[in-house]
Structures are given as C-alpha cells and as structure tokens.
Amino acid sequence: MAVGIIIIGDEILSGRRHDKHLPKFIELLAERGMQLGWAEYVGDDPARITATLRRTFASDDIVFVTGGIGATPDDHTRQCAAAALNVPLVLTPEAEALIMERIADTSPDGRADMTQADNRHRLKMGEFPVGARVLPNPYNKIPGFSVEQHHFMPGFPVMAWPMMAWALDTYYADLHHLTKHTERSVLVFGLAESTLTPLMEAIEAEYDGIKVFSLPSVGDAERGAVYARRHIDLGVKGDPSLVGAAFERLIAGVEALGGEIVHPAEAVALPEGTVPPAE
C-alpha cells in the first residue's frame, strides 16, 4: 500500500496555473510521519481520468484527487469516478443539505430558494458515486467525497489542503509515524556518480532497510558558496537505528575515493555582492 495523489486539470498541464498541491501534500504527510509513494497529473480528458481511476481503484493505495469536482462542463471527476466504479451518480443527502446551507448563507434573505435554476444546478456538486462519503469542506461547506480509499476534493488550495489534513487525521491516524525514518547527507565534490555507484551499492547490501541517494548538481549560482560548484548531494535514509552507521560508512568510502566533503550545516550562503567561484 502506498499513498498517491492525482492532480487533475488542463490548466496545470498548459502552465496557466502552477501546481501547489504536490509540495503541500508532501508537507502534510511528513508532519504525520508518512511519505508520498507516487503522483500523477491528468488533464480534463474524461477517458483518461476514468482509466486512471479504474487502475488506482484496483490497487490498495490511498489516493487523494484534486480538481474537477464542480458542476461546469469542464468538470468530469465525479462522473469519471462513478464510471471507474461502474456505479451511478446520486445526490447524496448530506451533501445536498450542506450545499443548501451554503446557498442560504450567501442569500440576502438567508433562505435557500430552490426555485432558482442556478441554485438547483449547484446541487449537482453533491452528486457522488453510490456508496461515497462526504468529505467536509471547512471553507465554504461545498463538500468533496470519499469512496473506498480515494478522497476527492476541489482544486482550490484554500479548500483542498484542510480537506487533505482532515482525511489523513480521520481515516489514517493509525498510519501516522508508523514507519520510523531519518536521513543524513553531505555535499561531495570532485567525484563522479559512476565512481560513487559501487560504494552506494555496497552500503545498501550491508545495511538492510537503508537506501543511498545521489542528487547531482551542475552548480547553483543563486545559492552561492559551495553550492555554486558542481557537486553531489549524497546521503543515506531509512531505519534510524541503521542510518548512523551507514552514514559513517558513506563518509569513510567517499574519503577513500578522494572526494571533498562539505556538511550542509557548513555550506553557508554566499555573501551579497560576492561572485561565485568557478569550478
């Protein structure tokens, strides 16, 4: 079982909007000692959305889905979720009540006048696949929905993020901080990844439950100082009881290969006006 997120919307794929959900969801998971297993972006294509959901419903993954649950012609997620499950959409009574509360809240006379066509149309936002549960929206009461281990919410961050947190805390509290995890890393200069690969493989073989990661950089002048030079962010992550020993093994191995090591805490920012050193 993994935790995944599906972010739906043509506006993300076209660049009209920049996705903010992925980094925030990673942050919400980290606060609870959980990790993201995968992420997918999907445009407003009903066939593709349906196929994606059919695949994820067939897995045992926990899946969060943002976008496309409104009632305009470009919103397809509710319909696609129903199609993926091979069930009809129905107006969920709890969702209907919440939407009518919202209509009343925004009405000048405090009433939900359901003789108005636009108000009746808004009830479509409460049509969910049969068997779905309401996912509360603290921002404006218009709910999302949960079905099986999938949780559907609007694309608006101000709505989606509290809904993500609510679902994580309501349904998955038993998974919080279940897997202990830590990591340590250093910046390595003067060595190629190909040179470091045998060392990385040896450490993973010696320490079951430890992964070694390598993030190369051609140099980041904006960060300055040592970051402006070509380097590799090299580290180990996994079981806290093993990370310390694996990290010491990593340091010793890099030194034996002749690499230059800088610990992140020592990689201070470049003073303003200073020209980054050339590699």
44-102 tens-digit pLDDT? 999 999 999 999 999 999 999 999 999 999 999 999 999 999 999 999 999 999 999 99
Residue with structure tokens 């002749």?
258
pLDDT for the residue 181: 80
Q: Which of 112, 145, 175 is the last residue in one of the domains?
A: 175
Q: Do the domain assignments include residue 275? A: no
Q: Which of 139, 154, 175 is the last residue in one of the domains?
A: 175
pTM over 0.75: yes
Q: Do the domain assignments include residue 231? A: yes
Mean pLDDT score, 157-179 = 95
Q: Which residues contact 72 (CB under 8 A, 6 or more apart)?
A: none
Q: Do the domain assignments include residue 277? A: no
Q: Are residues 51 and 157 in the same domain?
A: yes
**pLDDT surpassing 70 at residue 120:** yes
**In this structure, how many other beta carbons lie within 10 angstroms of the beta carbon of residue 31?**
12
Q: Is there a contact between 171 and 34 (Cβ–Cβ < 8 Å)? A: no
Token pair of 170 as six digits: 């309501």
Average pLDDT, the chain: 92
Q: Do the domain assignments include residue 8? A: yes
| CATH code, 242 | 3.30.70
> How far apart (Å, rounded) are the C-alpha atoms in residues 189 and 229?
8
Angle at 175 between CA 25 and CA 86, to 5 degrees: 70
Domain holding 245, by residue range, is: 182-268
Q: Do the domain assignments include residue 59? A: yes
> How far apart (Å, rounded) are the C-alpha atoms in residues 237 and 254?
17
pLDDT for the residue 267: 65
Write the pLDDT tens digit of every residue in 210-225.
999 999 999 888 887 8
User: Which residue type sits at 254?
Assistant: V
Mean pLDDT score, 112-141 = 93
Nearest residue to 88 (alpha-carbon basis) of 55, 132, 151, 32:
132
> How far apart (Å, rounded) are the C-alpha atoms in residues 140 and 135?
12
Q: Do the domain assignments include residue 116? A: yes
- Report which DSSP code applies to 184: E
pLDDT for the residue 275: 45
Write the pLDDT tens digit of every residue in 104-116.
998 888 888 888 8
pLDDT for the residue 257: 96
**pLDDT surpassing 50 at residue 278:** no
Q: How many domains does the chain have?
A: 2
